[in-house]
Amino acid sequence: MMPLAPWRPALARALHRNRARAYCRYLQLATINIGGKPSNRTVVFRGFVGEALQMVTDGRSEKVQQVRANPWAEACWYFTVTREQFRIAGRLTLLDPNNDVEALRSKAWQAMSAKARQQFYWPHPGQTRANETEFEPVSEGAEQPPDSFYVLLLIPDRVDHLTLRGNPQDRYIYERKSDEWSVETVNP
Ligand SMILES: Cc1cc2nc3c(=O)[nH]c(=O)nc-3n(C[C@H](O)[C@H](O)[C@H](O)COP(=O)(O)O)c2cc1C
C-alpha cells in the first residue's frame, strides 16, 4: 500500500476543524477550455478516493468536454474558520456510464439526496431555457444513475498550502514525482 500523501492530514484536519460551516465543502475548480483559456467554477467536495478528490457533475456540462480535451486542473479551496488555502493541481479523471471504476459512480449516486439527483434529469446545461415542463421532478432512477451523472476525480501532483494564522504566515509546497511526495517550506 502507498503511504498516505503528506498533505492529506493537513487537508483532513482543515475539513474537520471547519465542519460547522457546510460551505467548507465547496471549492473552486479551474480547467482549461478548448481555446486554452481558464474556466473556473464552484463544485462540492464529495470525499477522498485514495489520494484523489471526488466530485460529481453533469456529463453534458462544458467542463466535461474540457476535461476530455485536457485533463489538467487546479482546485482552490479556502477554509474560513482556520484561514487556510489549499491549491491542488493535478489531472482529472472522468467516471461515466462506460467507465465506472470500482463502482464509484454508482456509490456516489447512492449517496446523493433526492433533490440533488433531480438536477441530472433537467434539460441540457448551458442551453437556452425554453420549456419549464422539462424541469418537472421525475420519480424514476432512484437506484441506477442516469447517463448524465458523472464522477470527477482530481488526482493531485502539487499541493500549495498557505495558512494565514501565523505572523509570518506559513506556506508548504508538496510535489509528487513518480509516486514520491516531497514537501518544502517556502516563504509565504
Ligand atoms: C455552491 C455551489 C456548488 C456547486 N456544486 C457543483 C457540483 O458539485 N458539481 C457541478 O458540476 N456543478 C456544481 N455547481 C455549479 C457549477 O458551479 C457550474 O455552474 C456548473 O457546473 C456548470 O459549469 P461548466 O459550464 O463549467 O461545466 C455548484 C455551484 C455552486 C454555486
Q: What's the CATH code of the domain at 67?
A: 2.30.110.10
Residue nearest ligand 1's atom 4 by CA: 43
Probe residue for ligand 1, chosen from 32, 37, 39, 42 as the CB with the greatest number of ligand atoms within 8 Å:
42
Number of domains in the chain: 1
Phi and psi torsions of 13, nearest 5°: -65, -45
Q: What is the mean pLDDT of the chain?
A: 95
Centre of ligand 1 from the C-alpha of residue 42, in Å: 5
Q: Is residue 109 part of a domain?
A: no
Segment 34-56 mean pLDDT: 97
Q: Is residue 157 part of a domain?
A: yes
pLDDT tens-place string over residues 113-127: 999 999 999 999 999
pLDDT of residue 4: 84
pLDDT tens-place string over residues 75-133: 999 999 999 999 999 999 999 999 989 999 999 999 999 999 999 999 999 999 999 99
Question: Which residue range(s) make up the domain with 80?
Answer: 8-96+151-186
Q: Supply 166's cell numbers.
A: 501565523
Q: Is residue 142 part of a domain?
A: no
Centre of ligand 1 from the C-alpha of residue 120, in Å: 12
Phi and psi torsions of 122, nearest 5°: -70, 165
Instruction: Report the Cα 65 to chain-centroid distance in Å.
Output: 16
Nearest to 2 by CA among 178, 130, 161: 178
pLDDT of residue 1: 60
Q: Is residue 182 part of a domain?
A: yes
Q: Supply 9's cell numbers.
A: 492530514
- Per-residue DSSP letters for 128-142? PP--GGGGS-----S
Phi and psi torsions of 116, nearest 5°: -65, -35
pLDDT of residue 141: 58
How many residues does the structure list for the chain?
188
Q: Is residue 145 part of a domain?
A: no
What confidence tier does 8 reach under pLDDT thresholds 50, 70, 90?
very high
Highest mean pLDDT among 58-67, 99-108, 130-139, 141-150: 58-67
pLDDT of residue 148: 97
Residue 140 in this model has a pLDDT that exceeds 80: no
Q: Is residue 75 part of a domain?
A: yes
Q: Whole-prediction pTM value?
A: 0.96
Nearest to 72 by CA among 100, 31, 27: 31
Angle at 45 between CA 40 and CA 51, to 5 degrees: 105
Query: Rounded to an integer, what distance in angstroms lies between the CA atom of residue 87 and that of residue 162?
Result: 9
Probe residue for ligand 1, chosen from 24, 43, 76, 154 as the CB with the greatest number of ligand atoms within 8 Å:
43
> Given the C-alpha cell 478548448, which residue does it identify?
34
Residue 179 in this model has a pLDDT that exceeds 90: no
Query: Rounded to an integer, what distance in angstroms lies between the CA atom of residue 87 and that of residue 40?
Result: 13
